[in-house]
Amino acid sequence: MNFKNLKEVPFSSSIYIKPKRFTYESKGKNYTWDFIEAKDSVSVLLYHKGLESFVFVRQFRIPLWYHQDNDEFYQKNANMGYTIELCSGLVDKNLSLEEIAREECVEELGFLPKKLEKIGDYYTGFGSGVSKQSFYYAEIDEEDKVAQGGGVDGEQIEAIYVKVCEYESFIKEQIRTPLLDFAYFWFMKHHFKMR
């Protein structure tokens, strides 16, 4: 881990999340439901045509690190707190979803896709807080490289290139979200057969 002085501090407020509590009555009983109101996001599966590879993001996630801290298996893992993810970002600007997706590709990985294909909108976190994730696909090549990447505002993002034929063996040892596997299966069904 490339961080110093990582510690928990008192929580007061956030521009990213808001705790919510609702009460309701059902079948004569009163109930309470606590959840987090969170911002929506965009995610992009990038396929590098020249390298026949996916381009993923590797980054440190404090909530994952916190969760793993109590898990004996992960305490032995050198990648504790690190994930392999799609290029993603919050919907927190007055831009279209496609513009935000393109901007994230440049900020995180340095690529500016010429064309984005919208795959769909998906919802996550039904119990703890729902947010919508808009999922895109883009093909890139070295001519689309316009910046260094690596993230902004303190992000420490590393580009990970994974050949399509090596994805299944690579991913066995990685911590990831279900969206990463969904993206792979979607690609194999809709794009790989055409090659």
Binding-site positions read 104, 108, 155
- Residue ranges for the known binding site for Mg(2+) are 104, 108, 155
> Are 55 and 161 spatial neighbours (Cβ–Cβ below 8 Å)?
yes
> Are 62 and 9 spatial neighbours (Cβ–Cβ below 8 Å)?
no
Tokens, residue 40: 């929506």
In this structure, what DSSP letter does residue 193 have? G
Q: How far is CA 96 from CA 63, 99, 112, 180, in A?
A: 28, 5, 16, 23
Tokens, residue 183: 């993206």
DSSP letters spanning 23-56:
EEEETTEEEEEEEEEE--EEEEEEEETTTTEEEE
> Are 18 and 128 spatial neighbours (Cβ–Cβ below 8 Å)?
no
CA geometry: angle at 91 spanning 86 and 94, to 5°? 140
